[in-house]
Structure 1
């Protein structure tokens, strides 16, 4: 059997898993906010029509794709307040429902906002810690270790060279963006 014969036989075999795999790839692209790639892939695989309309009233991840993408970009750029405001504007009440999941994502976002302040302005970070971070120690004692770690950032003249510098990394922002994206998908879609 030649390679051409093998290829011809392969192409004639039914591929029932192909659509399932394509749908999984498409779902990953939508989940990860790769809107242009998701649209192109979905269209090429005939999973969607060529006009990928985003219907904000629908309850699937594509309905929130563009707002999630915008918020993820904001977080990756260190614009936490802006991302929270954008979330509140596009998904009213999502961050304020006081569930354990909501408390957790609010904690993550509040910590990241503190970290962004610590990166640039220790006095602003200190004021923010006093007004915003302290609330979380009474919500759940499990937050205390993280609070101690991030507050330590302002004790150093150069937080980027401190033992807690990993909180200032782009990987940390990426992790926060992923957590926030997942929270929106799980609680909105």
Structure 2
């Protein structure tokens, strides 16, 4: 027999309060910097109370909508800055991104090299740590490496914001011929602009090696020095975008740096690395996946709360329902047949893994 506390928790999970769902959606919007949508959502979803005459009233213990909006806008300021920094990185404007970081989030790139705790979770609370390093030494060097890559670029890489068909302006290329010439080409054929550009790139590489050798931990120094061998190799190609090192020149590389910096901003601001709804989805997928791997069977269906069903699975057919009997005018169709009661035995079924995409797209989802 479940206790009252267990029954209360089960009821809360099956029938969450409107305010709980509202906070879940708002947390997702704020975390992902959908600022205008978040403001509209707060205004449109505010809980209204009416008196006996149908007039709207506000209970005194509760916060007003205006107070909610003021609180929200303070949270959205950080979201605006995060979005601006991310956009700068995705368009290749590394110096602009660093300027915003140093002004608004100085601890992200500061010399403080505190170790990230292995776990900050407390009993009854779920936390999700960033999947990449938040060490300021690493972040600062990663941005410097990316700045070198952008300077070595010979073909513009446009960035299209989500939902836009027009790319944002990209930074000017250092030079159309910024690379060292092949061995069979006379260096005197290159103009002074190209020679100056090559000198700038060589100076940047030397600075990167100096920064890597200054890292505190020996294993970090070894890892970055190994990476710089490849990054420095970009200088050997007239068009690095068409070279074996082209992976460094892709938008995916920019996205990886942007994700790492954004995670560090959230970490330093003591904000979750992912939204609550994403955390719950990951937790659910992990839990159901482990149960499936261990061949855990479903409990008897007679014990399931009303409205509960298994999540859709690629290897499981949807539950079928009895189709209505077609009326053919025959007497047998008008009188239901007497059937023997089914045998009280339920087939055992292994719990399926949780697939978020199938769950969202499933027509069976309530």
Q: TM-score range by the shorter chain?
A: 0.7 to 0.9
The RMSD of aligned alpha carbons is 2.7
How many residues are matched? 171
**Cα deviations by residue, 1:39-62 (Å, 9 ceiling, x for unpaired):** 33444444984566533xxxxx64
Partner Cα distance (1:133, 1:18) in 2: 55
The reply on whether 1:95 has 2:95 as its aligned counterpart is no
1:149 paired residue among 230, 235, 238: 230
Name structure 1 gaps, 5 residues minimum: 1-13, 56-60
**Mapping of residues 13-92 of structure 1, within 5 Å:** 15-16=15-16, 19-20=19-20, 22-46=22-46, 49-50=68-69, 53-55=72-74, 62-92=76-106
Which one has a larger percent helix, Structure 1 or Structure 2? Answer: 1
1:75–1:173: 8 Å Cα contact kept in structure 2?
yes
Cα separation, partners in 2 of 1:106 and 1:21, compared to 1, 3 Å: farther
2:141–2:208: 8 Å Cα contact kept in structure 1?
no
2:39–2:72: 8 Å Cα contact kept in structure 1?
no
Partner Cα distance (1:157, 1:18) in 2: 60
The reply on whether 1:105 has 2:158 as its aligned counterpart is no
1:111–1:133: 8 Å Cα contact kept in structure 2?
no
Give the secondary-structure state (helix, strand or coil) at the position aligned to 2:73: coil
| Residues 87-96 or 41-50, more deviating | 41-50
**Mapping of residues 102-181 of structure 1, within 5 Å:** 102-119=136-153, 120-121=173-174, 122=178, 123=198, 124-139=200-215, 140=220, 141-181=222-262
Query: In terms of Rg, which structure is larger?
Result: 2
- TM-score, normalization: structure 1? 0.76
- TM-score, normalization: structure 2? 0.42
Partner Cα distance (1:125, 1:23) in 2: 49
Partner Cα distance (2:19, 2:244) in 1: 48
1:115–1:125: 8 Å Cα contact kept in structure 2?
no
Aligned equivalent of 2:128: none
| Residues 113-122 or 26-35, more deviating | 26-35
1:94–1:188: 8 Å Cα contact kept in structure 2?
no
Give the secondary-structure state (helix, strand or coil) at the position aligned to 2:108: coil
Name structure 2 gaps, 5 residues minimum: 1-13, 48-64, 116-134, 154-172, 179-197, 271-366
